[in-house]
């Protein structure tokens, strides 16, 4: 819901509406008193302007009733404002128990955010719509502050302690976040974007797929996420062959035959690893059937393809000798 | 220039001058309370947070020397009060005597402080790159002034504290920062006090103080007593943590 | 000013404090509170220009989103040094050290302050502190923000933190000595008959300010001392890497720096309490309430400092308590505003320049003070903390309030200080220019804050540009509004029309002496038998006192011996 005052950012979190409402209440009340006093001053300045050179004003000491009145009434209104503000704040400081917890670390001058499944982002925060999200905030150096104007929330990030903040995004979209505690040279560029996505989209994003992410980069993340890198060491000393330069090359299999390492071979290797064993290696690779989606296989393939130009180790590549170096 | 006991131009009477100067000194002492209060607050908070390190730091201070200094300062406050009384009763030679005693006791305090500071320096307990709370137990030969029994006790205490606080050295350094900060600030105030006492001594020898005019003695007395009270706070805060063993 | 109805034009008195002695030594070694006030006037004006220069650089740079004028490090130095110069070297000393020093002895019927030599010392301490800080500004600058938050200031900053912090530390003692002097003077140096409740409210305001100065300033002194030790010797109180706590620094810092804002505004309120009765020719409505409100602000002002720290992750319940107290501290200011307004009703109001500044103060302090309520409300502070909303809020109070009070007071007392009048019509135009320029500069910043623009940003997203340009345009007008008085007040000091003892006329004791006053203020110590602002019982003012347009409402105020 867009706030009715045009200068307000869109109301994109559960807090925004209430915060704006309190803001408006304070605005209306203070505007009322400001206008009242201003009008009284202008009126008096006009009505009681000096008419003759030696004129003096009336001899009035004061009025105790007025004093009590204009003490009590502002006090009552002030307490009302205080109470409403405190209620919002207490709610904000005490997070619900069912939150999606994300770690956010500020350092000069960037933000590192980590999703529950380990997926990391820099200066970007992807979160699902209508879910309580809690940020656990840490700093590696000085005090920073994580501020999302559209959510109307912020919290200092203090070195030596953890602070937390929570909110529930209620509107999908992309919203600015800023560092809002002065932290040195590039304080002003230490910001980024919060992207609120539909839950399904978020889930998909979380596991590595994303329309606007480079497939090879996505594949690299998956390669780590699924722990492929623990066996397929690039230098050929792992339990599985290095994948440098393997895409498009002839692979020597244990039974003596060779096969071109194309997309189909890679897909089969992931889903049915025992179908073809590379010469010199044990059949220890687990199957990823049911654990990877088609899109993830595509991304992994793109990643392996990107390793074509990487240096092939002399031992532990699995590539048939006569086709070494071929595209 | 104005001579002691003369009426300054902005005042109508000596009585007004006296009341004004006294009130001025009281208000100045209030500012000193706020000044020391700030660092005492920082100390207290850190002592609560890092109790083991602070207790360890406290145990490396000499209770004997600190206690002796406390007695010295209390005595100096007594001699100062006697100096004020002497000036109120026009006993010129006694004013001089008691002021001299106060100065002397102040110097005794400085002497003991010097011994303590030198020891800390020797034991690598001055905050900075070479700060090391474990220095003496690791190299007992470098700290010959600690006898074997005390060294064993310190070693035992350090082991217990280090288990409770893995960052013991860093936190002990906080204790010593506070120690030098607070005692250093206190010592600075005592130096200023000593300077004021020397001036009073000079004026009393010249016969300026008597029952009619003793305001400066009174006011410097207030200052000196305040500096004493600060020490009365510092001594338990710094020396007496965890002394039950 | 009023024309002399009868009699020849007034002459400057033959002997006064300005011509009593000559030569640079007679000024640099003076113990005359009036000369010391002028020494302060010169030095605070110097720092006002320094701070103003930095402000100009900030506003010029922020004309474009990507910032064309300065590198990020340079910009960060600009806003830091603007804050340090303005807060510590202009706002805090300004009214007390210039006008308080000059006027308090005159207003209470004394020959000088209680401790004239300490008064001179306070100026020298200010100058030494100022030189340290100036040196820091020239040699590497300072880029930590005027708030010096740790560990940025003590560990990470590559700027001249130590000398700047030492400079501010030293200058703090100037403040302490001034406050001490004022407190003692008001207690022990009042003329016979000048009871507490006959004192001008300017004196009450400075009494309250002095309480804040002596209780608060020592705390910032020790805090900055510890921070300097940390920076230079690597101690660890505020450094988390060594077990220290950056939030402890903030508590200690704000314990002074919040009351400091009351040091800045209470004297200005005191000026307004002089201007309005004088130019409405009517005693101040609710004198006792206004006096009590000044003391209440000073005391309660010490209980709200954590409202600068609502979002540091501290105890929720502590935050709630401090928010409550923050709303309470607003009430005495509201009481004063209502009393000033009520004074106007039934008055005989003229629109001389000082009164224009008083009106300006009323309007701008109203906005500044009321916007404080938004920030004190915890739920709203979550959103607008550390945004331009805060910047606008405090500039409305500091500039719209304190500086308007300062300029209004300068104009009001210029005839007493120099013996000469300033050019009235030029001054009125300057006041208008200042008021308009001010609002154009700072009102758009409220909007920027609501839109979400954080403060201390050298570059900003393009959607914030419109209001930034508006703000810079306003600042250029504001600058003219400041330059004009600097020029014509200086001119008037030498060539203005001779003013006479009491050109307005006003009721204070300072106006019963010649203009400029004698070095010893009064030839004969006055004996006071009248109440403050009592136009109806002062035939010496030469005004017409008829039966009055209304009847007095309440029994007359009682004196207090």
Name the residue facing B177 among C181, C215, C236 (closest C-beta). Answer: C236
Report which of A272, A224, A265 is spatially closest to residue A248, judged by C-alpha positions.
Answer: A265
Q: Is C282 on the interface with A (CB under 8 A)?
A: yes
Looking at mean pLDDT, say which of B144-148, B152-156, C465-469 comes out highest.
C465-469
- C307 pLDDT exceeds 90? yes
CA distance B87 to chain C (A): 24
- Residues A254-295 have pLDDT tens digits of 888 989 998 888 988 998 898 889 988 988 888 888 888 877
- C186 pLDDT exceeds 80? yes
Q: Is C116 on the interface with B (CB under 8 A)?
A: yes
C-alpha distance from residue B38 to each of A124, A256, C357 (Å): 42, 82, 39
**pLDDT score, position B149:** 85
Q: Is C455 on the interface with B (CB under 8 A)?
A: no
**pLDDT score, position B2:** 58
Q: How many CB pairs under 8 A join A and C?
A: 311
CA distance A207 to chain C (A): 32
- Residues A256-265 have pLDDT tens digits of 898 999 888 8
**pLDDT score, position A6:** 56
Average pLDDT of the residues of chain A: 89
Hey, of C311, C324, C448, which one would you mutate to test binding to chain A, going by the most A CBs within 10 A of its CB? C311
Q: Is A200 on the interface with C (CB under 8 A)?
A: no
- Residues C486-503 have pLDDT tens digits of 999 999 999 999 999 999
My answer on whether omega of the bond before C505 falls inside 30° of 0, hence cis, is yes
Report the alpha-carbon distance of residue C151 to residue B217 in Å, rounded: 45
Q: Give me the domain span that covers residue C67.
A: 24-541
| Torsion angle defined by CA atoms of residues C118, C123, C125 and C126, in that order, rounded to the nearest 10 degrees | 140
Contact across the interface for C215 and B34, Cβ inside 8 Å: yes
CA C32 to chain centre: 22
User: Does a structural domain hold residue C206?
Assistant: yes
Name the residue facing A41 among C155, C341, C554 (closest C-beta). Answer: C341
What residue spans in chain A does CATH classification 1.10.760.10 cover? 215-323
- Residues A131-183 have pLDDT tens digits of 999 999 999 999 999 999 999 999 999 998 999 999 999 999 999 999 999 99
Task: Classify C468 as helix, strand or coil.
Answer: helix
What pLDDT band is residue C62 in, cutting at 50, 70 and 90? very high
**pLDDT score, position C234:** 85
Share of chain C above pLDDT 70, in %: 96
The residues near C307 (Cβ < 8 Å, ≥ 6 apart) are C258, C322, C323, C326, C375, C376, C381
**pLDDT score, position C553:** 39
Contact across the interface for C145 and A161, Cβ inside 8 Å: no
User: Does a structural domain hold residue C207?
Assistant: yes
- C560 pLDDT exceeds 50? no
What pLDDT band is residue A3 in, cutting at 50, 70 and 90? very low
- Residues B2-61 have pLDDT tens digits of 577 788 888 888 899 999 999 999 999 999 999 999 999 999 999 999 999 999 899 889
- Chain B residues with CB under 8 Å of C221 CB are 35, 38
Q: Is C197 on the interface with A (CB under 8 A)?
A: no
Backbone dihedral angles phi then psi of residue A13, each to the nearest 5 degrees: -135, 170
Average pLDDT of the residues of chain C: 93
- Chain C residues with CB under 8 Å of A79 CB are 324, 327
- C548 pLDDT exceeds 60? no
- C1 pLDDT exceeds 80? no
What residue spans in chain A does CATH classification 2.60.40.420 cover? 100-199
Q: Is A326 on the interface with C (CB under 8 A)?
A: no
- Residues B171-209 have pLDDT tens digits of 999 999 999 999 999 999 999 999 999 999 999 999 989
Average pLDDT over residues A82-86: 97
Residues of B with CB under 8 A from a CB of C: 9-12, 16, 19-20, 23-24, 27-28, 30-32, 34-39, 41-42, 45-46, 49-50, 127-129, 167, 170-171, 173-174, 177-178, 181
**pLDDT score, position B183:** 96
**pLDDT score, position B137:** 86
Average pLDDT over residues C58-62: 97
- C529 pLDDT exceeds 70? yes
Average pLDDT over residues C94-116: 96
Judge contact between B196 and B223, C-beta under 8 A. Answer: yes
Joined together, the tokens standing for residue C342 give 């009520």
What pLDDT band is residue C518 in, cutting at 50, 70 and 90? very high
Average pLDDT over residues C498-527: 94
Contact across the interface for A154 and C149, Cβ inside 8 Å: no
Q: Which residue of C has its CA nearest to B28?
A: C180
What pLDDT band is residue A235 in, cutting at 50, 70 and 90? confident
- Chain A residues with CB under 8 Å of C311 CB are 145, 154-156
**pLDDT score, position B243:** 67
Q: Which residue of B has its CA nearest to C177?
A: B28
Secondary structure in 3-state letters for chain A: CCCCCCCCCCCCECCHHHHHHHHHHHHHHHHHHHHHHHHHHHHHHHHCECCCCCCCCCCCCCCHHHHHHHHHHHHHHHHHHHHHHHHHHHHHHCCCCCCEEEEEEEECCEEEEECCCCCEEECEEEEECCCCEEEEEEECCCCEEEEEHHHCEEEEECCCCCEEEEECECCCEEEEEEECCCCCCCHHHCCEEEEEECHHHHHHHHCCCCCCCCHHHHHHHHHHHCCHHHCCCCCCCCCCCCCCCCCCCEEEECCCCEEECCHHHHHHHHHCCCCCCECCCCCCCCCCCCCCCHHHHHHHHHHHHHHHHCCCCCCCCCECHHHCCCC
User: Does a structural domain hold residue C158?
Assistant: yes
CATH fold of A215-323: Cytochrome Bc1 Complex; Chain D, domain 2 (1.10.760)
- Chain C residues with CB under 8 Å of B34 CB are 214-219
Average pLDDT over residues A117-127: 89
User: Does a structural domain hold residue C366?
Assistant: yes
Average pLDDT of the residues of chain B: 91
Share of chain C above pLDDT 90, in %: 90
CA distance C531 to chain B (A): 23
- Chain B residues with CB under 8 Å of C114 CB are 10, 20, 24
> Domain A100-199 is of which CATH architecture?
Sandwich (2.60)
Contact across the interface for C217 and B167, Cβ inside 8 Å: no
- A201 pLDDT exceeds 80? yes
- Chain B residues with CB under 8 Å of C245 CB are 45, 49
Asked whether B and A share 3 or more beta-carbon pairs under 8 angstroms, the answer is no
Burial of C476: CB neighbours in 10 Å, binned 0-12, 13-18, 19+: middle
Report which of A18, A244, A197 is spatially closest to residue A100, judged by C-alpha positions.
Answer: A197
User: Does a structural domain hold residue C15?
Assistant: no
- B1 pLDDT exceeds 60? no
Judge contact between C160 and C77, C-beta under 8 A. Answer: no
What pLDDT band is residue A4 in, cutting at 50, 70 and 90? very low
- B152 pLDDT exceeds 90? no
Joined together, the tokens standing for residue B12 give 């109508």
- Chain C residues with CB under 8 Å of A57 CB are 280-282, 346-349, 535, 549
Instruction: Say how many domains are in chain C.
Output: 1
- C329 pLDDT exceeds 90? yes
Comparing A120 with C483, the larger pLDDT belongs to C483
CA distance C387 to chain B (A): 30
CATH number for the domain spanning C364: value is: 1.20.210.10
Report which of C159, C167, C134 is spatially closest to residue C231, judged by C-alpha positions.
Answer: C159
Q: Which residue of A has its CA nearest to C359?
A: A41
Contact across the interface for A159 and C454, Cβ inside 8 Å: no
Hey, of C159, C284, C341, C378, which one would you mutate to test binding to chain A, going by the most A CBs within 10 A of its CB? C378
Q: Which residue of A has its CA nearest to C386?
A: A180
**pLDDT score, position A297:** 85
The residues near B173 (Cβ < 8 Å, ≥ 6 apart) are B127, B131, B133, C235, C236, C242
Contact across the interface for C370 and A159, Cβ inside 8 Å: no
- C183 pLDDT exceeds 80? yes
**pLDDT score, position A230:** 83
Chains in touch with A (3+ beta-carbon pairs under 8 Å) read C
pTM of structure: 0.86
**pLDDT score, position B71:** 97
Report which of C191, C44, C36, C213 is spatially closest to residue C118, judged by C-alpha positions.
Answer: C36
Joined together, the tokens standing for residue C222 give 């020790």
List the domains of chain B with CATH numbers: 38-239 (1.20.120.80)
Strand extents, DSSP E, C195-284: none
User: Does a structural domain hold residue C551?
Assistant: no
Report the alpha-carbon distance of residue A35 to residue C366 in Å, rounded: 10
- Residues C220-261 have pLDDT tens digits of 999 999 999 999 988 889 999 888 999 999 999 999 999 999
Judge contact between C204 and C291, C-beta under 8 A. Answer: yes
**pLDDT score, position C555:** 35
User: Does a structural domain hold residue C197?
Assistant: yes
**Which of left, alpha, beta for A13 (phi over 0: left; psi -120 to 50: alpha)?**
beta
**pLDDT score, position A209:** 52
**pLDDT score, position A106:** 94
- Chain C residues with CB under 8 Å of A70 CB are 334-335, 338
Range from A323-327, B158-162, C387-391 carrying the lowest mean pLDDT: A323-327
């Amino acid at each position: 819901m867009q706030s009715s005052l045009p200068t307000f950012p869109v109301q994109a979190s559960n807090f925004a509406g209430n915060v704006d409402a309190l803001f408006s209440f304070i605005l209306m009340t203070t505007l009322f008193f400001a206008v009242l006093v201003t009008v009284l001053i202008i009126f008096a300045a006009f009505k009681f302007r000096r008419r003759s050179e030696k004129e003096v004003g009336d001899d009035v000491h004061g009025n105790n009733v007025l004093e009590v009145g204009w003490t009590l009434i502002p006090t009552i209104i002030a307490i009302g404002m205080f109470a409403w503000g405190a209620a919002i704040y207490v709610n904000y400081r005490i997070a619900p128990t069912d939150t999606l917890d994300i770690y956010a670390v500020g350092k000069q001058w960037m933000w590192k955010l980590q999703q529950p499944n380990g997926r990391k982002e820099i200066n970007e925060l992807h979160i699902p719509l209508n879910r309580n999200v809690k940020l656990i905030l840490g700093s590696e150096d000085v005090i920073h502050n994580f501020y999302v104007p559209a959510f109307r929330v912020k919290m200092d990030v203090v070195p030596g302690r953890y602070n937390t903040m929570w909110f529930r995004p209620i509107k999908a979209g992309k919203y600015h976040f800023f560092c809002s505690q002065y932290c040195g040279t590039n304080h002003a560029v230490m910001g980024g974007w919060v992207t609120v996505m539909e839950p399904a989209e978020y889930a998909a994003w979380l596991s590595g797929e994303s329309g606007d992410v480079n497939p090879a980069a996505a594949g690299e993340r998956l390669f780590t996420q699924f722990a492929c890198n623990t066996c397929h060491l690039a230098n050929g000393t792992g339990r599985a062959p290095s994948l440098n330069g393997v895409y498009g090359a002839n692979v020597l299999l244990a039974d003596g035959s060779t096969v071109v390492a194309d997309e189909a071979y890679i897909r089969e290797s992931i889903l049915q690893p025992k179908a073809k064993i590379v010469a010199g290696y044990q059949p220890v690779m687990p199957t990823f059937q049911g654990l990877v989606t088609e899109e993830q296989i595509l991304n992994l393939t793109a990643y392996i393809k990107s390793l074509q130009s990487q240096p092939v180790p002399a031992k532990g590549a699995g590539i048939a000798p006569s086709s070494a170096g071929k595209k | 220039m104005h001579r002691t006991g003369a009426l300054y131009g902005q005042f109508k009477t000596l009585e007004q001058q006296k009341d004004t100067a006294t009130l001025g000194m009281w208000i100045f002492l209030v500012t000193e309370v706020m000044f020391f209060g700030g660092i005492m607050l920082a100390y207290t908070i850190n002592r609560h947070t890092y109790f083991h390190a602070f207790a360890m730091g406290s145990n490396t201070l000499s209770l004997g020397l600190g206690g002796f200094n406390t007695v010295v300062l209390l005595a100096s406050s007594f001699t100062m009060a006697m100096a004020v009384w002497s000036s109120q009763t026009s006993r010129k030679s006694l004013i001089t005597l008691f002021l001299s005693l106060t100065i002397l006791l102040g110097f005794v305090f400085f002497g003991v402080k010097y011994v303590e500071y030198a020891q800390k320096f020797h034991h690598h307990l001055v905050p900075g790159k070479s700060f090391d709370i474990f220095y003496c137990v690791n190299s007992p030969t470098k700290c010959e002034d600690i006898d074997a029994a005390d060294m064993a006790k310190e070693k035992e205490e350090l082991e217990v504290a280090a288990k409770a606080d893995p960052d013991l050295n860093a936190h002990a350094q906080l204790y010593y920062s506070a120690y030098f900060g607070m005692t250093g600030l206190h010592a600075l105030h005592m130096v200023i006090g000593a300077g004021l006492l020397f001036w009073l001594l000079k004026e009393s020898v010249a016969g300026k103080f008597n029952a009619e005019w003793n305001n400066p003695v009174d006011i410097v007395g207030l200052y000196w007593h305040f500096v004493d009270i600060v020490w009365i706070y510092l001594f338990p805060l710094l020396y007496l943590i965890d002394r039950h063993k | 000013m009023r024309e002399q109805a009868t009699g020849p034009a007034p002459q400057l008195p033959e002997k006064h404090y300005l011509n009593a002695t000559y030569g640079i030594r007679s000024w640099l070694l003076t113990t005359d509170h009036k000369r010391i006030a002028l020494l302060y006037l010169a030095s605070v004006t110097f720092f006002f220009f320094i701070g103003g220069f930095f402000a100009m650089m900030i506003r010029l740079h922020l004309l474009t989103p990507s910032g064309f004028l300065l590198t990020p490090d340079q910009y960060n130095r600009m806003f830091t040094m603007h804050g340090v110069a303005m807060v510590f070297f202009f706002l805090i000393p300004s009214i007390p050290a210039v006008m308080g020093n000059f006027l308090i002895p005159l207003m209470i019927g004394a020959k000088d302050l209680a401790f004239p030599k300490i008064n001179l010392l306070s100026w020298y301490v200010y100058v030494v502190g100022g030189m340290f800080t100036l040196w820091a500004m020239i040699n590497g600058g300072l880029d930590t923000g005027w708030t010096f938050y740790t560990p940025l200031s003590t560990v990470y900053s590559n700027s001249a933190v130590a000398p700047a912090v030492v400079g501010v530390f030293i200058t703090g003692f100037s403040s302490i000595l001034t406050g001490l002097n004022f407190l003692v003077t008001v207690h022990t140096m009042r003329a016979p008959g000048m009871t507490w409740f006959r004192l001008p409210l300017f004196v009450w305001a400075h009494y309250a300010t002095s309480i804040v100065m002596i209780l608060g300033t020592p705390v910032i002194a020790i805090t900055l001392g510890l921070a300097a030790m940390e920076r230079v010797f690597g101690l660890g109180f505020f450094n988390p890497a060594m077990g220290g706590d950056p939030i402890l620094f903030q508590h200690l810092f704000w314990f002074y720096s919040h009351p400091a804002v009351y040091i800045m505004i209470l004297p200005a309120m005191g000026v307004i309490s002089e201007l309005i009765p004088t130019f409405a020719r009517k005693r101040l409505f609710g004198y006792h309430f206004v006096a009590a409100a000044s003391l209440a602000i000073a005391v309660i002002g010490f209980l709200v400092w954590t409202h600068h720290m609502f979002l540091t992750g501290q105890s929720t319940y502590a935050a709630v308590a401090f928010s409550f107290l923050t709303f309470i501290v607003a009430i005495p200011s509201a009481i004063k505003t209502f009393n000033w307004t009520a004074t106007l009703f039934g008055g005989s109001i003229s629109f001389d320049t000082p009164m224009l500044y008083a009106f300006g103060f009323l309007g701008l302090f109203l906005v500044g003070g009321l916007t404080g309520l938004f920030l004190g409300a915890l739920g709203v502070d979550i959103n607008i903390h550390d945004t331009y909303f805060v910047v606008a809020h405090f500039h409305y109070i500091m500039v719209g309030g304190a500086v308007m009070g300062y300029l209004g007071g300068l104009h009001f007392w210029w005839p007493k200080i120099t013996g000469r009048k300033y050019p009235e019509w030029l001054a009125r135009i300057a006041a208008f220019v200042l008021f308009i320029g001010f609002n154009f500069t700072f009102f758009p910043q409220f909007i920027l804050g609501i839109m979400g623009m954080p403060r201390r940003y050298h570059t900003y997203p393009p959607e914030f540009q419109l209001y930034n340009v508006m703000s810079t345009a306003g600042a250029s007008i504001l600058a003219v509004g400041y330059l004009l008085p600097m020029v014509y007040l200086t001119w008037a000091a030498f060539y203005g029309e001779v003013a006479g003892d009491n050109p307005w006329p006003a009721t204070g004791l300072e106006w019963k002496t010649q203009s400029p006053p004698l070095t010893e203020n009064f030839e004969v110590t006055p004996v006071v038998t009248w109440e403050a602002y009592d136009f109806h019982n002062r035939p010496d003012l030469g005004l017409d006192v008829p039966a009055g347009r209304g009847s007095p409402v309440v029994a007359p105020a009682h004196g207090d011996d």
